[in-house]
Each structure stands twice: as C-alpha cells, then as structure tokens.
Structure 1
Amino acid sequence: MSRTNKERTEATRAALIAAARTLFTDKGYADTATPDIVSAAGVTRGALYHHFEDKKALFRAVVEHEAAQVAETIEARSALAKSPREALLSGASAYFDAMEVPGRTRLILLDAPAVLGAECLGAIDRENADKSLHEGVRAQLSSSADRHQIQAISNLLSAAFDRAAIAIEAGGDRKIYEAAIVMLIDGARLQPPTTDG
C-alpha cells in the first residue's frame, strides 16, 4: 500500500531531523554542513529546503523534538505522584534521566543557547519542561506566593536543573545533585518568599 503525501512529508521531515541530530551531536552545529545532512537523511537538497528555511531552522526543529521528549518523560513520571512535592521530585529525577540520552545535554544546554539565542530557547522551554515545572511550583507553594514569585522560583529551579545536568554530563555525581535539588525544592516549600524589604 502506497503512502500518502502527508506520510511521505512526515517521513522526510523525520529523516532530516534524525540525521541532523546525529551530525549536530557528533560534529557540533558549526562543523555540520547541509550536504552532509542531506546525504545522511537520504533525501535531496531541495527536500531539505522545502521543510526548513536553513540549517538553523533545522537545528531548532531538532532542539524542539528533544525538548518535547524531555517534557514527555517528566510529565509521565510526575503524573503518578500523590503530592505536589512528590511530583516535583519525580519530575526532577525524570529530567535527569531524560538528559542522560547521549547528545541531549550538548544539544539543548550547550549548543542551543549559542545557536538559537536565549529568547528562542526560552520560548521552546516554556512550551515544554518549564511549563510542567511552573505548574509544579505553583502547586507546591499553593496560596503562599503570587505569580511573580512562582515565576521567579521556577526560573531559578530551571537554571539549577540545567546546571546540574551539565555538571553530571561532565562527570559529576548525580546523587549529590539530586540531593541538592531536593533541598532547593523543600526550601521553597518551607520558606515561601515574601515581598517585604
């Protein structure tokens, strides 16, 4: 049975993203050429530019795909939790599991900020794992913090998760970083921020 145009289009796009991911991970963004991506994907150069404006747009698609997979892992694990605290801790553990996928830390945390810029990467984060984190922090703090405080704590925890993932990738002890994250989460729960001077 022949595939529909939509199926062929999706298959071509998926092949380009998969090939690009491998090359971006192995060689880095700067050293990956579009002819190499086309060759690895088994498609034409025209197919590449039909789906993506340029190499940067393809890189963004790779990062979006990786970020979505991280978010799915977090959401699946935290959905089983029985309390906001447990959901945050389960989500943290799931995040570290997801970031252990080879190449993912480099793509999302090291190369993406330089290639895409903070604003673009922030938008990707907000659509994925940061959304779950924000909801978890809001549930954890309940009525003890306003939306600005919740956003600030979410941002700080997100940065802590990312720094921990980079450190673990470089050989740091995951158990130590997970314990530190527990302390941060519990600190936010026990001592909600105030707006007093």
Structure 2
Amino acid sequence: MGKQAERSESTRAGLVAAARALFAERGYAAVGTPEVVERAGSSRGALYHQFKDKRDLFRAVYEQIQQEIVEAVAETLAAERAGDPLAALQAGLRTFLASCVEPERVRIMLVDAPAVLGWQDWRALDEKYGLGLVISGLQAGMDAGVLRRDLSTRPVALMVLSALGEAALFIANAADPDAARAETEPAVLALLDGLRV
C-alpha cells in the first residue's frame, strides 16, 4: 500500500472511530458531521472524500460492528466445531445474543440502523454478514448427521437469522437487556432443537 493509500485508510478509520463513539453516545440524529470531523481531527473535505454523506458514514460504522460480531461468532464456531456441530451452532448463537446487550452495539445496530438505513438495506446487510455463518453452522450439523437433511439449508438459515433479529430487537428494547437475553436464549435454541434428527 502506498503512502497516499495509507493516509486515506488512516483518515477513514479515524472518521469511523469518531462517528462510532458519537453515535453510541447520543444516537445518529443527535450527531452532526462537524462534530465527527472535529473529534477525528480531520476536515470536512476529507469526510466527504471518504463518504457520500452522514448516512454513508453510519453505514460504515454499522458494517464495522457487524464484521466484529461475525468474527466473534466465527471464532466460536471454529473452536467448537471439532466436537459437536450442533453445540458449535448453539455457542455461535449465544455469542451473537451476548453482543445484543452491549449498549454501543444496541444503539447503533438495533435502535438507529433500521431507521437510518431503512428496513430493506438493514436486512440485506444482516444477510450479508450473518447468513453465511448460519448456513455454514447448519450445513456442518447436517453433514454430521445431527440435523435434519430433508430441509433446504438456505430457507432454514433465513428463518434462524430472522429469529435472531427478532430476539436482538426484543433484547434491545427491554428495560433489562440481560434478563431479556436470558429469557430469549432458550427460545432461540429451541428452534435448533427442532431441527435435530
């Protein structure tokens, strides 16, 4: 990577980090781009060179968080997969649900993202980042003979992903997110139990 590309990447990373902190503190609507630029120690020109607008910047923040969650879930799946593929899938789902009680992620991913990105874009990004992992986990269980093979993997994965999305919203909107997670987790895991051979 050349020096110009490195500077550009560094500027982008600084803007995303500043925006992420501000969006987490006060929410998308209460944050202006001048404030992001100031916190990042950057310029308005640099912001608009990297991003079309504030929504585009928010999308970059959202995708960064999605990538972090996907990495955490993938690590969980990889660590567990050597043993029982169903246990690995369950552990991956627990890892995801645990991320739904973190205030920064809740505000950005579950409170602001559906409104800022719009329902269709939000769901499309959810599929982009989460669907592959769910399909992989389900397929491993099917290949190992512990999950039903008579069902098509993609529709089942979409249903599991949708259930996780609803569980995440339930947790995010609860007065006590930790209690909501404890209440929701068995219900989500019960869906997987229904897929056992």
User: Do they superpose with TM above 0.5?
Assistant: yes
Decide whether the 8 Å contact of 2:100 with 2:171 is kept in 1.
no
Task: Give the secondary-structure state (helix, strand or coil) at the position aligned to 2:68.
Answer: helix
Matches within 5 A, 1:1-197: 4-81=3-80, 82-142=83-143, 144-147=149-152, 150-169=153-172, 170=174, 171-172=176-177, 173=179, 174-190=181-197
Deviations 1:142-173 (A, max 9, x none): 562343xx333222222222332333342142
TM-score (norm 1): 0.84
Q: CA deviation at 1:26?
A: 1.9
Instruction: Give the Cα–Cα distance (whole angstroms) in 1 for the partners of residues 71 and 128 of structure 2.
Output: 11
The structure-2 alpha-carbon separation of the partners of 1:168 and 1:118, relative to structure 1 and needing over 3 Å to count, comes to closer
Decide whether the 8 Å contact of 1:85 with 1:140 is kept in 2.
yes
Decide whether the 8 Å contact of 1:63 with 1:108 is kept in 2.
yes
Task: Give the secondary-structure state (helix, strand or coil) at the position aligned to 1:108.
Answer: helix
Instruction: Give the Cα–Cα distance (whole angstroms) in 2 for the partners of residues 45 and 129 of structure 1.
Output: 33
Instruction: Give the Cα–Cα distance (whole angstroms) in 2 for the partners of residues 167 and 14 of structure 1.
Output: 31
Q: Alignment RMSD, CA only?
A: 2.0
Decide whether the 8 Å contact of 1:70 with 1:99 is kept in 2.
no
Moved over 4 A (4+): none
Instruction: Give the Cα–Cα distance (whole angstroms) in 2 for the partners of residues 49 and 31 of structure 1.
Output: 19
Q: Which amino acid aligns with 1:144?
A: R
Where structure 2 has 5 or more consecutive residues not aligned to the other structure, the ranges are: none
Instruction: Give the Cα–Cα distance (whole angstroms) in 1 for the partners of residues 17 and 37 of structure 2.
Output: 11
Decide whether the 8 Å contact of 1:141 with 1:188 is kept in 2.
no
Corresponding residue pairs, total: 186
| Higher deviation after alignment, 73-82 or 174-183 | 174-183
Q: CA deviation at 1:136?
A: 1.4
Where structure 1 has 5 or more consecutive residues not aligned to the other structure, the ranges are: 191-197
